[in-house]
Amino acid sequence: MDRPITTLFMLMSVDGKISTGASDHLDVDKDFPKIAGVKEGLHQYYEIEQTTDLWSLNSGRVQAKIGINTADMPNKTPVSFVVIDNKHLKEHGIRYFCSLSKQFVLVTSNTKHPAFEIQEDNLHIIFQNELSLKDVLTKLKSEYSCERITIQTGGTLNELFLREKLIDYLDIIVAPVLVGGKDTSTLIDGKSLLSESELSRLGVLKLQECVVLENSYLRLRYGVIKNDKYDYQGGH
């Protein structure tokens, strides 16, 4: 395979929400620790997160939402980070990732992104006129020797990875809460399918493991089935 093996690793509610509401001021990282019945088991998500791949792919919007642009500078970790961003990361956020990462790769289509003004040995920029996730992953393997990567983006980017058949595994931590709201981001957002001929774009899964965690949390691990026999062949 000419790209890294990918795992979508996310925390979600029982009804599939990855945020607590439709406002940028609402976020599971900030809000779940405040909710009785949810906060008690939340540590398990962060503990499992520490065992994921040494490459992590994120979106600038999600990172800005959780406060990276104003956060204290972190200590260096052995993890390399890839962030897809056009307008959400400020100079401070970029320096934050340079401080945090073994290697920091910024993917952007913005020729005026503040990252272009920053000189750091571990900062690398992949510029694309139009985002191509497949090309990003191919380059990560060929130029940066990335063999496995954990994806932790928002619902919109998650949908692009799904539709382009770029997700190999899912590792989902389910929190014991119902969020609701049709405009609240879910695990997979993006455009809805509209015709039977598009059913081949669904992500068919094979359960690998279901772990009952403490405090009513679940861990669900799936492989994504790539076999052609699951592609939609029909038509009327």
- What digits encode the pLDDT tens for the residues 42-59? 999 999 999 999 999 999
Determine contact, residues 12/20, Cβ cutoff 8 Å. Answer: no
Range of the domain at 110: 5-230
114 occurs within a structural domain: yes
Whether residue 160 lies inside any domain: the answer is yes
Flag whether 236 is in a domain. no
- Distance, in Å, from the CA atom of 206 to the CA atom of 90, rounded to the nearest integer, reads 40
Residues 69, 92 contacting (CB under 8 angstroms): yes
In three-state secondary structure terms, 43 is helix
Please give the share of the chain, as a percent, with pLDDT higher than 90: 92
Confidence at 220, pLDDT banded by 50, 70, 90: very high
Counting the structural domains of the chain, the total is 1
SS (H, E, C) 178-208: CCCCCCCCECCCCCCCCCHHHHHHCCCEEEE
Within a domain: residue 219? Answer: yes
CATH of the domain at 91: 3.40.430.10
The Cα 125–Cα 115 span in angstroms is 8
pTM above 0.85, yes or no: yes
Residue 235 lies in a domain: no
Residue 65 domain-assigned? yes
Number of other residues whose CB lies within 10 A of the CB of residue 43 = 13
**Does the pLDDT value for residue 235 go beyond 80?**
no
